[in-house]
Amino acid sequence: MPTVTFVQSTGESIEVAVAEGTSLMRAAVTNGIDGIVGECGGQAMCATCHVFVRPEYAGALPPVSDDEDEMLDCTTSERTEASRLGCQVKVSAELPSIVVDVPADQV
């Protein structure tokens, strides 16, 4: 099973195993990870699933779509180069593990 590691701004890190094709947002919400809200259920409409992807994993990700791009401008914690919407990034055979930082502020 692919794994997702969420690192909180406090330094606390939680690894969860999820089925292939699961989004980072869904992985976080179903496992009760604090700081990922996922208000819109994955429609790229709420920007409450903001994560920072560690650089070593960024290359394996699909590019940011236009919808994701404009929503990333609306995040509560300021957007960086590493910012993605957790609902738009899925784990897969090509991306069997990933480590992301959870922003300090999400709403």
Partner 1 sequence: MSNQPNTATGCPFTGELPSDPAELAALMSTVPATHATDAPPAPGIEAPVADWVTIEDLVRDPFPIYRRMREEAPVHWVPAVNRYMVTSYAACHEIEQDEATYSADERNSLMKRSMGHSMLRKDNPKHQVDRDAYGATLRPGTIKKHWNAIFEANNERYLGELLAKGPGSDFVWDYAAPYTGENLRMVMGFKNATQQDLQRWSQTLIDGTGNYADDPEVWATAAASSDEVDTAVDEMLSHYVGNPDHSLLSGLASMPIPLEAIRANIKMTIGGGLNEPRDVLATTVWALLNNPEQLAAVKAEPRLHSVAFEESVRWVAPIGMYPRETTRDTVLGGVALPKGARLGVVLGAANRDPDVFEDPEAFNIFRPKKAHLGFGGGVHFCAGTWIARAQVAQVAMPSVFEKLPHLRLDPSSETTDAGWVFRGMTRMPVLWG
Instruction: State the minimum distance, in angstroms, from the CB of residue 106 to ligand FES.
Output: 11
Tell me how many residues contact ligand FES (CB under 6 A). 15
Q: Which of residues 27-66 bind partner 1 (CB under 8 A)?
A: 29, 32, 34-35, 37, 39-43, 45-46, 48, 66
Instruction: State the minimum distance, in angstroms, from the CB of residue 85 to ligand FES.
Output: 4
- Told to check if 16 binds partner 1 by CB under 8 A, we report no
**Cβ contacts of residue 67 below 8 Å, gap of 6+?**
44
Phi and psi torsions of 68, nearest 5°: -65, -40
∠69-75-79 over CA atoms, to 5°?
Answer: 70
